[in-house]
Structure formats: C-alpha cells, structure tokens
Amino acid sequence: MDDADMNALDLSLLDELREFMDADVHILISEFEEDTRERLVQVAQAIEDRDAETLRQTAHSLKGGAATLGAVGLSQQFRGLELRGRDASFSGIEQDFGNTQRSFEEAMVSLNKWLGQV
C-alpha cells in the first residue's frame, strides 16, 4: 500500500476490526460499499430537491459508517455535506458532492487493497 492509501485509512482501527471480526470484515466492507452507493443516490436527490434535512440525515449516517471503517478523509467529506444540510447551504454544493464521490471511490480502492493484504 502506498503512502496516499495509508493516509486515507486508519490502519490501526482496521486491524482492530479484523481481530474482532476475523473474516467477517470482508462482509462489513462489502455492505458498507453497497449501502453507501445507495445512499449517495439519496444525497444526490436531496441536493437536487434542496432537501436540507434529508441531506443532513443521510450524510450524518454515511459519516459514521466511514468512520467505523477508518476512512477518515471520507468521513470528513460526509461531515461537510452534513453541515451543508444543517445550514441549508446549497450554493456550490455540487462540487463538494463530486469531491465526496471521488473520496468514496478512493476509499474503496484503499479498503480493497487492505483486504487483499489480510
């Protein structure tokens, strides 16, 4: 794993998860990916509809899921969207959402590389 991947994940947290869950950590990461993809669709719809409460709630949930897997940068991206929802601040949010989607894809690459090493 290169330095960029190492910085994207809290490896100590992932190692703890692996010790606790053993092979089930693969399932957890797979479920996280599937759930996040579905919820990103909800976020996109909330942005389109200017539905601040749905944006806040969905981003909050996603933030927690990312943090649970040690995807610190991704969790911070979701926190930004959560705050946008809380403040009903939609100006320029499309760029933030695009950055969050890229962070998600990068986090999944990193998580799958980590899985390949365990």
Tokens representing 97 are 């959402």
Confidence of residue 85 (pLDDT cuts 50, 70, 90): very high
pTM: 0.89
pLDDT tens per residue, range 24-69: 999 999 999 999 999 999 999 999 999 999 999 999 999 999 999 9
Instruction: Give residues with Cβ within 8 angstroms of 77, minimum separation 6.
Output: 96, 99, 100, 103, 104
SS3 readout for 46-81: HHHHCCHHHHHHHHHHHHHHHHHCCCHHHHHHHHHH
Class of domain 3-117: mainly alpha
Query: In the chain, what are the domain boundaries?
Result: 3-117
